[in-house]
Each structure stands twice: as C-alpha cells, then as structure tokens.
Chains A and B, each alone.
Chain A
C-alpha cells in the first residue's frame, strides 16, 4: 500500500497503534542517528538513581527466572540456590544480613544455598514480600518444581528400590 493510501485509511495515531515501518535511511544517516541516540541515552542514564538501578536488576532476575522456569530444558546449574544467591548479591554484602531481614536462621539459609535444602512455604512467601512483590512466590516455587521434576524423572535408584513394594503391575498386550 502506498504511503498516501495508508494515510487515507489510517490516522497517524492509528498507524502508531499498528506499525513500525522499515527505515529507508542510508548507512551514513543511520550512523549519524546512532550517534544522536548515544548522546540522548547518556542523559536518560544519568537520571537513574541507585534505587532505580536496583529495580532494573531485580526485574532482570525476575525475567530470567520466569523464562527458565517455563523453558523445556533443565540446567543443573540453574537451581533455586543459584537464583537466590544472585538475588541476595543484588543488595547485600553478606548473607547473614539478608537472613536477618527475612527472619530466617543463618544456618537454614546456608543449607538452602549450599546443601540443596528445600525452602518451606513461609520462606518463599517472604522472598516475594522482600522483593516488593517483584519476584512472585510462584516464580520461586516453579524453580523448585523444575528441580524436583528432573530428580523424579532421573531417579533410577528409587525405582529399583520401590519395585520390591509393587505387585500385580498392569500388563498391556499391545
């Protein structure tokens, strides 16, 4: 559709609500535009305070958790403890102070971070509250669930052990 026809059919507001068009600028013009953008971005960056920077970092972690939790792949490095460690580091120099702020025994936090201990419901809810509801308890829970799902899928030892306690298994003649 030619530009004139498009302008006849849709108002400018409607076009902005429906399209981003390809740029027809030359390489040189794009380079100039990128230089302008660089300067404009500098100004926007300078306006950010420490609190807003922290907000951006928490948001980043939230999106990483969400995307990993819903992905079909399992990565043993991306455990609950891995993401919790990252979360704590955003605003604390030592774990002890974080444990204090969510009223969790330091030893319990250490077990969660280093020994794979499963955090209880209260702890997960406190994590949500501590992030000012940015990272939901459900997101934290989904990380645990993903871990458990993998463990259950790959646990041959339990299957061998439990097979002694199962009789008259269903048999299908297909």
Chain B
C-alpha cells in the first residue's frame, strides 16, 4: 500500500488514491487546491486521502493517449497545508505521480509512459526529484525510470 509520512511524528500513513466524485467538488476550492479543478472535468481527476479519513490531501488530473500508450499529467496540486516549509505530510505529489505510473503500466505494460509539461524553470527539478527523463519541452517516465518510481512507492 502507498504511504505518506507525517513530518512531525515521522509516522507512515496508508493512503488511498481514487477518482473524485461530483460531491467532492463542493470541497475542492481554489483557495485550498490552487487551481480551478472544475476545468479538468474532461480528464480523469484523482484524489489522495489517508485511508479511513475524508480530507483530500492532493489532486491530479490525467489524460490517456491510448494510441501512444501514454498518460499525461495535466494538473497536480497538494492541499495548502501540505506545501512549502510548514507542510504536514510529505510525498503527496510523488505518490500521485507514482499512481499515474501504475495506471500507465496497468494499461500499457512495458510501453507505459507518463509525461508532463513542466514550467521551464522547474524542468531540472522534476528530473532530479522524480528521476524523469528530458524530452525537450516535456519530461517523462518510461521503462527503468518508471519502474524505479513504482518500486520506491511500494507499488
């Protein structure tokens, strides 16, 4: 099971990642989750929560490009309380990205690819943090880099 770490106590918490429901949009505000997530309804939107709790700690929108055997992370945000120096839990974004890798492998096996468009100034940081590969304007996970992220996140 995927886990996140509570920084104050170092306790590992089991997490659940699942599709958001229409009801969830009532609590998904721009103030807490940074973006207008209603604009992403054409994509698959996943939420991350601690197993047994309701609060959404992170959101991710992905789109499958079946012919290319690839899924693209269109948008991702962790909740306000979990950003920056004073965040409560760590590894929320990484777990969401690893989950996108899981979905890609489930659908495309050895050809699975997860890609995203980084802001230019953040590209090298995505490469460093998540082991992503450089494809010019996009960064991506495929093959060994993708398997490594799965393994690191107990998938």
Question: Do A and B associate with each other?
Answer: yes
Q: A37-B135, A52-B147, A59-B105 are in contact. Are A19 and B77 (CB under 8 A)?
A: yes
Chain B residues packing against A (C-beta within 8 Å):
34-35, 60, 68, 70, 73-78, 82-85, 90, 92-94, 102, 105-106, 109-113, 115-119, 121-122, 125-126, 129-130, 133-138, 140, 142-145, 147, 150
Q: Is the CB of A52 within 8 A of B143?
A: yes
Interface SS, B side? mixed
Top 10 nearest A-B pairs (CB, nearest first) are A23-B117, A40-B135, A56-B110, A33-B137, A36-B136, A20-B76, A63-B106, A16-B125, A37-B135, A18-B83
Chain A residues packing against B (C-beta within 8 Å):
1, 9-10, 12-23, 25, 29, 32-34, 36-41, 44-45, 47-48, 52-53, 55-57, 59-60, 63-64, 67
Q: Is the CB of B137 within 8 A of A29?
A: yes
Q: Is the CB of B138 within 8 A of A56?
A: no
Contact partners of B93 in chain A: CB under 8 A: 16-20
Q: Is the CB of B150 within 8 A of A59?
A: yes
Counting chain A CB atoms within 10 Å of each CB, the highest count among B73, B130, B136 belongs to B136
CA distance A44 to B135 in the complex (A): 11
Contact partners of A32 in chain B: CB under 8 A: 137
Q: Is the CB of A41 within 8 A of B135?
A: yes
CA distance A135 to B73 in the complex (A): 27
Contact partners of B102 in chain A: CB under 8 A: 63
CA distance A130 to B99 in the complex (A): 25
CA distance A15 to B121 in the complex (A): 11
- Residue ID in chain B nearest A10 by CB atoms: B84
